Amino acid sequence: MTPETSAATEAPAAGFDVKTLSGSFGAEVRGLDLSNLDKDRFEQAYQLMVEHKVVVFRDQHFDLDSYEAFAGRWGRIHKHPFMRGMDSHPGILEIVKTETDRRAFGNAWHSDQMFNPKPAKFTMLYAREVPDRGGDTMFANMSAAYESLSDGMKTMLETLRGWNVGSREKLRAASTVPSNSRPPAGMQEEIPPEEQQTEASHPLVRTHQDSGDKTLYFGGHTMHIDGMTPTESAPILRYLQSVVTRPEFQCRVEWEVDSLTMWDNRCVQHYAIDDYAGQRRRMHRITIAGDEIPV
Ligand code: OGA
Ligand code: MN
């Protein structure tokens, strides 16, 4: 990070305002027009992401073309293997919950596309319609959770890998919870049953490519620990999940129309709160493909 960018992340320098969302992580930025970032400003925005892991940029004005163009600056736009993008803009997924829809997409703790050998780097959601109240998104800081563990636990985890699975049926079959309930966690809504091929092993502790920090790395797609049965893995994964989702390691984004929230899937889990029955919520989502195999 250059001295200039580090100064700019301390509000209210450099013409835009940064407010932290919790003691642990997350930031809200006002006064930065993402559609019009020169090279230095883009670098500052990237450093905001590395520093805060989740950033909600308020009052953004994109059309579909300029939104895709902005996203392309962060890396390759991920084409979801299972979900259809918009007809005119296949890189943009429209995430809609209508007044009559019963279930909300992403309503469980997860990190996006962990079942991919090179899992998603960033996801951005751009709010087009939001409920009068409710429909917030929660985030959990897996790096802070890792840091809080004992040296003994850290050492044990060092050698372990998670087996991550896209298939809802496989996750359910491996689950130790009753078959009529949902999988313990996961973005199962994202994956239609007919499209369930993708599986990948990733270290349970990975080193973040940009910050160099170690972070836990698992989520709702983690079916078991490599070399262990799901039954043997479940208590360990459940314990780690209880650490990750401690209130101390969470932050919460309250949406406004025209807010764009980005999060770093490499070190953050997220959860869409389904508390707005009878109301509409519509988001435009773009995911930035990962460019590394986690190590
Ligand atoms: C997602 C997701 C959360 C939300 O788009 O990957 O989980 O709050 N969305 O809509
Ligand atoms: Mn998600």
For residues 99, 105, 107 and 112, what is the CA-based torsion angle, rounded to 10 degrees? -160
Containing structural domain, residue 179 = 17-288
Ligand 1: residue whose CA is nearest its atom 9 = 106
Strands 27-30 and 54-57, sheet pairing: parallel
CA-closest residue to ligand 1 atom 3: 272
CATH at residue 167: 3.60.130.10
pLDDT, mean over the chain: 89
Higher pLDDT, 284 or 198: 284
Asked if residue 90 belongs to a domain, the reply is yes
Q: What is the average per-residue pLDDT within 232-247? A: 97
User: Is 223 within 8 Å of 109 (Cβ atoms)?
Assistant: no
**What pTM, to 2 d.p., does this model score?**
0.89
pLDDT tens digits along 178-193: 333 333 333 334 433 4
Atom from ligand 1 closest to the CA of residue 106: 7
Asked if residue 53 is part of any domain, the answer here is yes
The pLDDT value given to residue 187: 38
Percent of the chain with pLDDT over 70: 87
Please report the atom of ligand 1 found closest to the CA of residue 273. 8
Write out residues with Cβ below 6 Å of ligand 1: 95, 105-106, 112, 123, 125, 137, 187, 270, 272, 283, 285
**What is the model's pLDDT at position 190?**
44
Assign 3-class secondary structure to 107-150. Answer: CCCECCCCCCCCCCCEEEEEEEECCCCCCCEEEEEHHHHHHHCC
The answer to whether position 8 is within a domain reads: no
User: Is 52 contained in some domain?
Assistant: yes
Residue 12 lies in a domain: no
Residues 176 and 164: their CA atoms lie apart, in Å, by 16
| 106 CA → ligand 2 middle, Å | 5
Ligand 1, atom 8: closest residue by C-alpha: 272
Residue 207 lies in a domain: yes
The answer to the question of residue 125 being in a domain is yes
Question: Residue whose CA is closest, atom 5 of ligand 1?
Answer: 285
**Does residue 250 carry a pLDDT above 90?**
yes
State pLDDT tens for residues 109-134.
999 999 999 999 999 999 999 999 99
Q: Is there a domain that residue 150 lies in? A: yes
Q: What is the mean pLDDT of residues 215-242?
A: 96
Grade residue 166 by pLDDT with cuts at 50, 70 and 90: confident
For 88-112, write each residue's pLDDT tens digit.
Answer: 999 999 999 999 999 999 999 999 9
When divided into structural domains, the chain yields a total of 1
